[in-house]
Chain A
Amino acid sequence: MHFNYSMKLDFDQPVQEHHFTLKCLPADSSRQQICGLRIAVDPQVRLWQGLDGFGNRKMMGYLKESHDHLQVDVLGSAWIRGEDDDLSDALLMKYPTRLTQAGPAVREICRAVLESGAGEDFPRRVMEEVYKRMTYIPGSTGIFTTAEEAAQAGSGVCQDYAHIMLAVLRLRSIPCRYVCGMLEGEGQSHAWVEALSGGRWAGYDPTNCVEAGQRHIVISHGRDAGDCQINQGIFYAAGGSPVRQQQQIHVLVEQ
Chain B
Amino acid sequence: MIDIHEMDLLSSKDLMNDQLARYGVRFGIYKNNVFHEQLFPYDPIPRVIGKEEFDFLEKGLQQRVTALNTFILDIYGKKQIIKDGVVPEEFVFAGSGYLAQCEGMTPPGGVCSHISGIDLVLGKDGCWYILEDNLRIPSGASYPMIARKLERRCSPSTFRQFQIEDNRDYADLLRGVMDYVSTGGVPVILTPGRYNAAYFEHSYLAEQTGAQLVSGQDLFVEDNCLYCRNFDGKKERVGVVYRRISDDYLDPLNFLPESLIGVPHIFDVFRAGNVALMNTPGNGVADDKGIYYFVPKMIRYYLHEEPILSNAPIFLPFYEEDMKYVLDHFDELVLKDVAEAGGYGVRFASSMTRQEKEDFIAALKKEPRRFIAQKVVDFQDIDICTDEGFVPRKADLRAFVLYGKEAVVWKSGLTRFTTDPDSYIVNSSQGGGFKDTWVLSQ
Contacts and interface: CB of A to CB of B under 8 A. Distances in A.
Interface of A: 19-21, 46, 48-55, 58, 60, 62, 88-89, 91-92, 94-95, 222-223, 227, 232-234
Given A53-B103, A62-B265, 18 more contacts: A21-B265, A21-B268, A50-B272, A53-B99, A53-B105, A54-B103, A60-B253, A62-B220, A62-B222, A88-B104, A92-B98, A92-B100, A94-B89, A95-B90, A95-B94, A232-B253, A233-B253, A234-B264
B167 to A, nearest CB: 39
Nearest to B103: A53
B102 A53 contact: yes
A20 B265 CA distance: 9
B79 interface: yes
A53 B93 CA distance: 14
Contact of B104 (A49, A55, A95, A232): A55
B223 interface: yes
Contacts of A222: 100
27 contacts: A19-B221, A19-B264, A46-B222, A48-B223, A48-B224, A49-B224, A50-B224, A52-B101, A53-B100, A53-B103, A53-B105, A60-B224, A60-B265, A60-B268, A62-B220, A62-B265, A88-B104, A89-B103, A91-B93, A92-B93, A92-B98, A92-B100, A94-B89, A94-B93, A95-B93, A227-B100, A234-B252
B370 interface: no
Interface string B79-98: 10010000001100110001
B426 to A, nearest CB: 35
B175 interface: no
A95 B222 CA distance: 35
Contact of B101 (A20, A48, A53): A53
Contacts of A233: 253
Q: Which 10 A-B pairs rank lowest in CB-CB distance, beginning with the nearest?
A: A53-B103, A19-B264, A92-B93, A50-B268, A48-B224, A53-B101, A95-B93, A48-B223, A53-B100, A21-B253
Interface in B226-276: 252-253, 257, 264-265, 268, 271-272
A203 B222 CA distance: 37
A46 B102 contact: no
A234 B257 contact: yes
Nearest to B265: A60
